[in-house]
Amino acid sequence: MENLAQEVMDKLKTWARVNSPWAIHFNSGSCNGCDIEILATFTPRYDVERFGIKLQGSPRHADVLVCTGPVTLQARDRLLRIYEQMPEPKFVVAVGSCGISGGVFQGCYNVVGDISEVIPVNVYIPGCPPRPEAIIHGIVELLKSLQK
């Protein structure tokens, strides 16, 4: 009986999370190209809020961390702390080529590069910057994988 209840709760939680993920956005040193495309997904043409994705400000309420940039040395600690403050289960989406390899900034002295050298990443969305459609697609892929 207890196992069944637990299963139902888990399914409900997944449904709630999948249907209404709360996201927090963090710029770890990007040129802002990716950030404005992320912001564009919330504007009328793409209107990602109709899928229930909500962008809010506190890591403590976030399911998904949307991270741009090649992680500058200055941003590294902050990124780590935000990740630590997020409750389980939590997921990370790296938007842009910078988060994959450092992008054009690979080798620059103040840049770490790959976001997964700092925190684990679930989804990489390549592009410089990726289009809003690509960003939405990446997030939807993440949500679909949660349904399994």
Per the DSSP assignment, residues forming a β-bridge with 24 are 65
| CA–CA gap between residue 66 and residue 79 (Å, rounded) | 11
Q: Does 133 bind other proteins (CB under 8 A)?
A: no
Measured from the CB atom, the residue of 44 and 88 that comes closer to other proteins is 44
- Site track 81-120 with other proteins (rule: CB under 8 A), x = hit: xx--x-----------------xxx-xxxxxxx----x--
Say how far apart CA 11 and CA 89 lie, in whole Å: 14
Q: What separation in angstroms does the CA of 95 have from each of 1, 15, 104, 107, 119?
A: 43, 24, 14, 19, 14
Site string for other proteins, 12-51 (x = CB under 8 A): ------------xxxx-xxxxxxxxx-xx--xxx------
The interface region with other proteins, picked from 12-20, 56-64, 87-95, 138-146 by CB under 8 A, is 56-64
Stretch that binds other proteins, among 14-22, 68-76, 87-95, 138-146 (CB under 8 A): 68-76
Residue 13 or 78 with smaller CB distance to other proteins: 78
List residues binding other proteins (CB under 8 A): 24-27, 29-37, 39-40, 43-45, 57-59, 69-70, 72-78, 81-82, 85, 103-105, 107-113, 118, 128-129, 131
